[in-house]
């Protein structure tokens, strides 16, 4: 265990933004469509890369190109989602609200990733994860205490929620583990593939439509990631 007070503020930021981002993400996903919301949130690496580059990180030309291709693919998946062209649904303020919530989740996700990556060299990936999650838990309990209504989750959903929580924590653990040393911005871009995977799951499970341009975007995402993870 490492108890270094100088980096505790990073854990606080990571924990609070994790809580806030999760609320925004699931609010946007509940409003739908999933195939639009997930890629928007997954475009957060553009902000993460900008931050680390501003601090002096210098990826190679090939890495820059691969990251650009990946981000373009993510944006393409979000931008060219198929929507209904019915008059009642086109230019829908409800959809605009969903996109705004997803955009907020994207920014919060970027802040969360940067804070977590900055905390990892001090506390390690596992301690960073559980301390930040503890802070996030205390934050959401505070929010629930302030609210006048308490959410009720049917007992039959608890196993699925527990599984989702474990998978979510595992994903961030791998993200933090990959952030040790150089290449933190590359790890963030690679992790953004979750939005593309979510879009594919929405296609095959929720039967949401995926346009041809979206399929091209998906190919760009996986192609860019393949370059990023390959030895250069």
Residue 50: the pLDDT is 80
pTM more than 0.85 = no
- SS3 string of 88-116? CCCCCHHHHHHHHHHHHHHHHHHHHHHHH
Tokens, residue 22: 């999760």
CB 114 within 8 A of CB 21: no
CB 66 within 8 A of CB 227: yes
Distances (CA, A) of 162 to 37, 102, 138, 156: 23, 24, 18, 11
Return the H-helix or E-strand segment holding 120. helix 93-123
In the block, which residue shows the tokens 């838990």?
137
Residue 135: the pLDDT is 94
Number of domains within the chain: 1
Residue 222's pLDDT band (cuts 50, 70, 90): confident
Distance CA 210, CA 184 (A): 31
Distance CA 116, CA 112 (A): 6
Q: What is the pLDDT of residues 99-115, one digit of tens each?
A: 889 889 989 999 999 99
Residue 201: the pLDDT is 80
pLDDT at 175 over 70: yes
More confident: 2 or 124: 124
Q: Which domain holds residue 92?
A: 5-229
Tokens, residue 169: 């924590």
Q: Phi and psi of 85, rounded to 5°?
A: -100, 15
């Amino acid at each position: 265990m490492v108890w270094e007070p100088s980096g505790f503020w990073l854990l606080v930021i990571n924990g609070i933004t994790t809580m806030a981002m999760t609320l925004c993400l699931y609010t946007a996903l509940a409003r739908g469509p999933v195939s639009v919301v997930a890629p928007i949130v997954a475009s957060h690496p553009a902000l993460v890369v900008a931050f680390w580059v501003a601090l002096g990180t210098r990826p190679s030309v090939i890495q820059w190109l691969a990251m650009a291709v990946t981000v373009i693919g993510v944006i393409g998946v979000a931008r060219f989602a198929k929507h209904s062209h019915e008059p009642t649904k086109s230019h829908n303020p409800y959809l605009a609200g969903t996109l705004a919530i997803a955009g907020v989740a994207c920014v919060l996700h970027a802040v969360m990733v940067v804070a977590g990556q900055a905390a990892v060299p001090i506390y390690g990936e596992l301690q960073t994860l559980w301390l930040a999650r503890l802070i996030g838990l205390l934050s959401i309990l505070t929010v629930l205490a302030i609210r006048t209504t308490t959410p009720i989750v049917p007992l039959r959903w608890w196993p699925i929620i527990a599984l989702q929580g474990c998978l979510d924590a595992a994903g961030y653990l791998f993200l933090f583990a990959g952030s040790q040393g150089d290449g933190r911005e590359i790890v963030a871009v690679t992790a953004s593939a979750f939005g593309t995977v979510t879009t594919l799951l929405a296609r095959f499970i929720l039967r949401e439509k995926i346009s041809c341009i979206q399929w091209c975007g998906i190919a760009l995402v996986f192609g860019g990631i393949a370059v990023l993870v390959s030895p250069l």
